[in-house]
């Protein structure tokens, strides 16, 4: 599965650098010089990071083969992607990458199947989006009081829903 780690913004300066909107928790590793990134649209990449620096709080990246502002501007809007298989687990049993949760089967504490986790939303409150077999989605708050167990190798997440959550 390919994961977005950034989106290229406008060109910066005259030497081919572009601003990058970061979409990863580890920009130092994803945008290290020499890193190769897949792209969407696919035909643009892969892109190899040549230089990286921050300027006034923005990440500026120079890619091999894009030596001037005009060339760099052609990259605007391109998504930068990595393969989820290349991202190591966090090592913390209480932390998970979104791609590790997507695809897990959600079951209640009494074993009743609720559906499949199809997304994780981060907007104020982290939510698991669970697609029920009837096609409807249920938003499950990703908090310890409701999500009691996550078994990635076993392919399931156990929830203890309060009354009305699954209705």
Asked whether residue 92 is assigned to any structural domain, the reply reads no
Whether the CB-CB separation of 5 and 49 falls below 8 Å is answered with no
User: How many independent structural domains does the chain possess?
Assistant: 2
CATH number of domain containing 54: 2.40.30.60
Domain final position from 52, 86, 120: 86
Q: Give the model's pLDDT for residue 89.
A: 62
In a domain, 6, yes or no: yes
pLDDT at residue number 1? 65
Please name the residue that has the structure tokens 């230089």: 51
Residue 26: C-alpha distances to residues 22, 71, 85, 144 (Å): 9, 27, 15, 25
pLDDT for 2 = 74
Give how far Cα 58 sits from Cα of 6, 39, 52, 77, 82, Å.
Answer: 12, 20, 11, 16, 21
Name the pairing type of β-strands 105-108 and 156-159: parallel
CB neighbourhood size of 136 (10 A): 9
* pLDDT score for 90: 58
Let me know the angle formed at the C-alpha of 103 by 109 and 140, rounded to the nearest 5 degrees. 50
- Residue 148 counted as domain residue: yes
| pLDDT for residue 91 | 63
Q: Domain check: are 106 and 82 in the same one?
A: no
Residue 151 lies in domain: 98-159
Residues 66 and 33 both lie in one domain: yes
Residues 6 and 82 in one domain: yes
The answer to whether residue 39 sits within a structural domain is yes
Q: Are residues 8 and 69 in the same domain?
A: yes
pLDDT of the chain, 167 residues: tens digit per residue: 677 888 999 999 889 999 998 877 778 888 999 999 999 898 888 999 999 998 888 899 999 999 999 999 999 999 998 876 676 665 656 677 777 788 899 999 988 899 999 988 877 788 899 999 888 898 999 888 889 888 888 899 999 988 888 87
Q: Where are the beta strands (DSSP E) in 25-70?
A: 36-40, 47-55, 58-63
Q: What are phi and psi of 70, to 5 degrees?
A: -60, -45
Task: Please give the pLDDT value at position 92.
Answer: 59
What CATH number is given to the structural domain containing 127?
2.30.30.240
81 and 6 within one domain: yes
Whether 38 and 80 map to the same domain: the answer is yes
Beta bridge partners, 115, equal 106
Backbone angles phi, psi at 20, to 5 degrees: -130, 125
């Amino acid at each position: 599965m390919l994961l977005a780690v950034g989106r290229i913004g406008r060109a910066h300066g005259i030497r081919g650098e572009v601003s990058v909107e970061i979409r990863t928790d580890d920009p130092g590793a994803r945008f290290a010089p020499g890193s190769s990134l897949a792209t969407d649209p696919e035909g643009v990449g892969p892109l190899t990071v040549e230089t990286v620096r921050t300027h006034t709080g923005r990440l500026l990246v120079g890619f091999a083969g894009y030596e001037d502002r005009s060339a760099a501007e052609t990259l605007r809007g391109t998504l930068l992607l990595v393969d989820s298989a290349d991202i190591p687990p966090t090592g913390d049993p209480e932390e998970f990458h979104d791609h590790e949760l997507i695809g897990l089967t959600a079951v209640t504490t009494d074993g009743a199947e609720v559906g499949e986790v199809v997304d994780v939303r981060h907007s104020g409150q982290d939510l698991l989006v669970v697609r029920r077999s009837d096609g409807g989605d249920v938003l499950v708050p990703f908090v310890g009081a409701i999500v009691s167990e996550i078994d990635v190798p076993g392919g399931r997440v156990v929830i203890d829903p309060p009354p009305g959550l699954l209705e």
